[in-house]
Amino acid sequence: MRSSSGSRITSRSRGSSGRGPTGLATRIGTAVVWLVVAADLLLVLWIIVTSLRGGPDILQHAFGLPAAPKTDNYATALDEGGFAQAAVNSVLTAGLSSVVAVVLAAPCAYALARRRSRTSSALTTTFAMGLGVPGQVLVVPLFVGLSRVNLTDSDLGLGLVYVGLAMPFTVFLLTGFFSSIPGALEEAAVLDGAGPVRTFVQVILPVARGGLITAFLLQFIAAWNETLFALVLTNSQDQLTLPVALSSFVAAQQFNGLDYGTMFAGVCIILAPMIALFSWMGSRIIQGMTVGIGK
C-alpha cells in the first residue's frame, strides 16, 4: 500500500512539474526555435526562387514566383560574374588550408592533452586566448608581412593566413578530443613495442577521427565564408574567392543597373555547398563541438 501511494505521489509530482513554469518555458523555447528555423528555411527558399527571376520582375514584385524560370542567371554569374574561377579558388584555398590546419594542430593538441605541466597549461591558455583576438587588428600587419615576401594577391598567401587564423580554435577543439581518449590505449601500444610517433599515427588518430573531421569541417566553413582578408589580400580577377567575387560583381553592376537575378544566382552558388554540407554532416559537427569543447 505504501509503495503504491508513494508511486502515485511521485507520478502526480512529475505531472505537475511538467505543467509548471519549467515545462511552459520549455515549450515556449521550442516554439521560438522552430520559428527561427522556419524563417531561415523561408529565406533560403526565397533566395532560390528569386535567382530564377528576371531583374525587372524582381523590382516590380520582390516576392513572387517566376513566370518562366531563368536558368541563364546562373550561366551569366559563372561566366560574366567570374564565379566559376572564384569557386575553384574557394575550393582550393578553403580545402587545402583546412587540411594543413588540422595536420599541424593535431600533434600540438595531442602533446598539450597528454603533458600535464605548467608549461602545457600555459600554452593551452595561450591558444584559448587567441580565440578572442579580433581579425580586424591583424589585417594591416598581415598585409605588410605578406607584401614583403610577395605573397599578396595570391591564393597561397591567403591560405597561409587561414591556417594561422584556424590554429587557436582547432588546437583548443582537438585538445578536448585527445583528453577524452583513455590512456590505456597508449599503454597497450607501448607494450606492443610502438614508439610515440607510431602510437599517435596508428592508434590515437583513428580513435580521434570524429574530432579531426569536425575540426576540418569547421575550418572549411570559416574559410569558405571569409570575406575580410580575401578582400584585402587579393585583387586580381583570377585570384578572387566567391564572397569577394560577389562583392565585386555588385560593385561593377552599380554603374549599369544591378542585375538582381544574377546576383541572387551568385548567392545560391555560395550557399549551395554550405547547405549540402550541413544537411549531410550537421549532426556530426554539433556532436563534435559538444564533445571537444566540453572536455
Residue carrying the nine cell digits 593538441? 109
Dist. CA 262–CA 81, nearest whole Å:
8
- Its sign, for the CA torsion 76, 77, 81, 87, is negative
- Its sign, for the CA torsion 180, 186, 187, 189, is positive
Question: How confident is the model at residue 71, as a pLDDT?
Answer: 77
Dist. CA 273–CA 251, nearest whole Å:
24
Question: How confident is the model at residue 161, as a pLDDT?
Answer: 92
Which amino acid type is present at position 106?
A
Contacts of 195 (CB under 8 A, 6+ apart): none
Question: How confident is the model at residue 10, as a pLDDT?
Answer: 46
pLDDT tens for the chain, 295 residues: list them: 444 444 444 444 444 444 556 778 888 888 898 999 899 888 888 888 888 887 777 777 777 777 777 778 888 888 777 888 888 899 999 999 999 999 999 998 888 887 776 776 777 777 777 777 787 888 888 888 888 888 888 888 889 999 989 988 888 888 878 887 787 777 787 777 777 788 888 888 888 888 888 889 889 988 998 888 998 888 888 888 888 888 887 777 666 666 778 888 888 888 888 888 777 766 666 665 555 554 4
- Domain extent listing, the chain: 2-50, 74-294
Contact, 174 vs 289, CB < 8 A? no
Dist. CA 115–CA 118, nearest whole Å:
9
Question: How confident is the model at residue 155, as a pLDDT?
Answer: 84
Question: What pTM does this model have?
Answer: 0.78
Which CATH code fits 74-294?
1.10.3720.10
Report the greatest alpha carbon distance in the chain.
Answer: 86
